[in-house]
Structure 1
Amino acid sequence: MKSSNTSHASAEPSAAALSLRQLSVADWQRFGAGEIAYLRPVLVNGERAIAIHAADGTPIGAAPSEDLAIAAILQHELAPALVH
């Protein structure tokens, strides 16, 4: 009797994953434009800081901590996303 257990992921990429792989750089840059701001840890003058970027990668600010960066993003009615 065959098991009906579907908890194991297929090695085949899903249709959604294949669609995402076909997006152009410009499409990725527009993804979330006007809705998402990305946080990225950086060094500024040798000090740790958090850079804030628009969805298209344009730098829009910086803050000394992640909490302050998130507060600034939320104040401008954007959704924060962390980039590693």
Structure 2
Amino acid sequence: MNDATKTTIPTVSPQVLAAMGGGEIAYVRAIKSDDLNRLFPQAPEIQPGLDLFALLGADGTPILVTDSRSTAIANAWEHNLTPVSVH
């Protein structure tokens, strides 16, 4: 491959990436109850090993935690946020 055919991949800083979609996009992420207090420090201790779903703002700000993916998605729509899934 010569220089004329190289493709440059643009990079985006973590700060710029976090700001993209602010106030418009929310992420639905599957979590374990073991990780609950890391994302939601104010949450009470609950049984370990439970499957939960977190709704996070585009910048990672915690919004909601629930045991139902559909509830997390519905909450995003209620707040005029477009939900996307993170794996």
- Which TM-score tier does this pair reach, normalised by the shorter chain? 0.7 to 0.9
Deviations 1:4-61 (A, max 9, x none): xxxxxxxx64x6xx23xx2111000001111000011011232111011100011111
Name which of 10, 14, 18 aligns with 1:25.
Answer: 14
1:66 aligns with 2:69: yes
The percentage of counterpart residues that share the same residue type is 37
Scaled by the length of structure 2, what TM-score is found? 0.71
Scaled by the length of structure 1, what TM-score is found? 0.73
Q: Which runs of 5+ in 2 are unaligned?
A: 1-5, 34-46
Question: 1:40 — aligned with what?
Answer: 29
Aligned residues: 69
* Higher relative contact order (Cα pairs below 8 Å, separated by 6+ residues): 2
1:55 aligns with 2:70: no
Q: Which runs of 5+ in 1 are unaligned?
A: 1-11
1:70 partner amino acid:
I
**Aligned-pair CA distance for 1:64:** 1.1
RMSD (Å), alpha carbons = 1.7
- Superposed structure 1 runs of 4+ greater than 3 Å apart: none
Compare CA radii of gyration and give the structure with the larger one. 1
Q: Secondary structure at the match of 1:57?
A: coil
Q: Secondary structure at the match of 1:29?
A: helix
